[in-house]
Amino acid sequence: MNLEKKTKLIHLTHCSSMTWKAIYALLKHDSSLKNLYQYSSFDFENLFSFSREQATRLKKDLQTIPIQDILDNYEAEQIQCITFWDNEYPELLRHIYDPPWVLYVKGDTSLLKSKQVVSVVGTRQPTQYGYAALRTVINPLVENNWLIVSGLAEGIDTAAHKLAIESQGKTIAVLGSGMYHIYPSKNKELAKIIAKQHLLLSEYPPTFRPKKWYFPMRNRIISGLSLGTIVVQAKERSGSFITADQALQQGREVFAIPGSIFEETSCGTNKLIQLGAKLVLTAKDVCEELYVNKSK
């Protein structure tokens, strides 16, 4: 890929006024981004229907953000920027409706080419049953070389990453922030281990702090990297439920571990099963479904 185009695209993702759709509009009009630095704020307003405030802020950011210095810092810290057009970009993710334009990654990038990938999401307050059910399903998957993707959140996400590491497997943590601002902060040590031996990944530049709306956006990447998503304990209105919904929209499999009808943390998973998610009792249930779909 053209280095100049790549640098410009990375620059755009550092601009605070840029959304996925705004970058899409720019690329649709000028696919090589050849004229990006020549546009005036008036051009951004009129050619791309940006608001005056958005256009003014974008022009200022393009003039003042020292993108080459930033990229040099990333290189020194072994943070890689993988754009949508790069060969290293994960194929499954490339085919979702709104794939991230740039992935900021640290660690073993070869994991992005893994063929056996399953994501795991669930409540931040699991019960003992939730932890035991997770272990029962995840450990055999890891032993059969399935890579585990999750979101580094408290509870089920953290447990899934740790189980993969303890079982000598591989894991990818997808962040809802830039990697200089690990959230929750109690997972900083876990993030260091993952960045060293596995892979940390975010669509947000490293300096970006976590924001409430980043996490639902992050969920589409968790499901988008995977052949299927396993939901372990979730309330009916939760981030895990959103991830499952994203997976369905992306044409991926959704698996749910059932729970007691008396537990709030089982309402979401039981509802997903009612809606057509595959009920999971063992790792075999996951493998059989995904192997069948891979062979179609």
Instruction: Write out pLDDT tens, residues 207-228.
Output: 999 998 898 899 999 999 999 9
Between CA 123 and CA 156 the distance in angstroms is 6
Instruction: Write out pLDDT tens, residues 121-158.
Output: 999 999 999 999 999 999 999 999 999 999 999 999 99
Q: Mean pLDDT highest for which of 2-6, 126-130, 275-279?
A: 126-130
Instruction: Write out pLDDT tens, residues 56-72.
Output: 999 999 999 999 999 99
Mean pLDDT score, 15-25: 94
Task: Kindly report the pTM of this predicted structure.
Answer: 0.94
pLDDT greater than 80 at residue 237: no
Q: 214 — phi, psi (to 5°)?
A: -70, -30
Question: Which are the contacts of 198, defined by CB distance < 8 A and separation ≥ 6?
Answer: 107, 108, 111, 164, 165, 170, 171, 172, 173
Mean pLDDT score, 73-87: 97
Q: What is the DSSP string of 56-99?
A: HHHHHHHHH--HHHHHHHHHHTT-EEEETTSTTS-HHHHTSSS-
Per-residue pLDDT band for 296 (boundaries 50, 70, 90) equals: very low
Tell me the CATH number of domain 107-295, given options 3.40.50.280, 3.40.50.450, 3.40.1190.20, 3.40.50.460.
Answer: 3.40.50.450
